[in-house]
């Protein structure tokens, strides 16, 4: 089964940025117009877009609602959004803007009752972002590391009815160092719901490494810095995501 490649747009101070390992003080700015960036990725062939409100993640409440509205209005592909979503009202606001999927991070790890309420209300429009370093979940914009393991959280959120998990290996995010395939395999093996990989995608070979895991629930991968720094293209990643995998070998 082919994987979907989701270009990432990270919002901070109204601009499109990338952070190195999520550090707010290691920021690279790639554009001042998020809607224009969204149109760019659609023009490059994107079928989904992954948007993160970084200020929202750090502040604990949505900070880029207007920018997200402009992004959704500018394009005709589904958009998933995370960052600072803590309440049912936060999720309702995003979905009413036309966002296809709201990504819950910190709240999923710290308030399972709230997560269950969100899933009861919005069903598969709720995804959970599991951000982990060394297998331990990080929350509040990755500034706090918990004692909760990524696998335990994945099992718990699937039991709550979540059908999509976005798993980010924070040690590789923004580093262009390659994906943590072993961690991704472990997450996929722990649940039956869909999993989207994030962190470390630097080249088509990283997508091939994920495909070679042969996990049928690994349905997508997010790429950011590699695309913005022209280390690869969306077309190249998409071709790798659609290649046939047989006996552990990627056949082009």
Q: How many CB atoms lie within 10 A of CB 211?
A: 22
Residues 6 or more apart whose Cβ sits within 8 Å of residue 250? 208, 211, 212, 240, 243, 244
Pairwise CA distance, residues 10 & 242, whole Å? 26
Q: Among residues 51, 142, 160, 141, which one has the least CA distance to residue 101?
A: 51
SS3 (DSSP) at 208: helix
User: Does 76 participate in catalysis according to the annotation?
Assistant: no
**Of 55, 90, 131, 194, which is the active-site residue?**
131
Please give the distance of CA 12 from its chain centroid, rounded to a whole number: 16
Active-site residue (options: 10, 55, 90, 206): 10
**51 in Cβ contact with 79 (< 8 Å):** yes
Q: 44 and 235 in contact (C-beta within 8 Å)? A: yes
Is 189 annotated in the active site? Answer: no
DSSP E strands: which ranges in the chain? 4-12, 15-19, 27-31, 49-53, 79-82, 101-104, 126-133, 136-139, 144-149, 164-169, 194-198, 218-223, 244-246, 249-251
Q: What are the residue numbers of the active site? A: 10, 131
């Amino acid at each position: 089964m082919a994987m979907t490649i989701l270009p990432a747009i990270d919002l901070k101070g109204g601009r499109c940025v990338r952070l190195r390992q999520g550090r707010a003080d290691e920021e690279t700015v790639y554009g001042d117009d998020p809607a224009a960036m969204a149109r760019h990725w659609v023009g490059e062939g994107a079928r989904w877009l992954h948007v993160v409100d970084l200020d929202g993640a750090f502040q604990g409440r949505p900070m880029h609602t207007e920018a997200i509205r402009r992004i959704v209005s500018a394009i005709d592909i589904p958009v998933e959004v995370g960052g600072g979503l803590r309440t049912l009202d936060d999720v309702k606001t995003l979905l009413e803007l036309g966002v296809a999927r709201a990504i819950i991070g910190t709240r999923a790890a710290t308030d399972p009752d709230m997560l269950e309420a969100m899933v009861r209300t919005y069903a598969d429009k709720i995804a959970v972002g599991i951000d982990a370093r060394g297998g331990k979940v990080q929350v509040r914009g990755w500034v706090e590391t918990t004692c909760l393991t990524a696998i335990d959280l994945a099992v718990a959120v699937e039991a709550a009815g979540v059908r999509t998990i976005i798993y980010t290996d924070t040690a590789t995010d923004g580093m262009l160092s390659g994906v943590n395939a072993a961690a991704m395999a472990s997450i996929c093996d722990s649940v039956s719901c869909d999993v989207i990989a994030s962190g470390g995608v630097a080249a088509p070979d990283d997508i091939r490494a994920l495909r070679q895991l042969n996990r049928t629930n690994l349905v997508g991968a997010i790429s950011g810095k590699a695309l913005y720094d022209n280390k690869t293209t969306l077309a190249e990643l998409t071709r790798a995501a659609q290649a046939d995998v047989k006996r552990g070998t990627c056949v082009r």
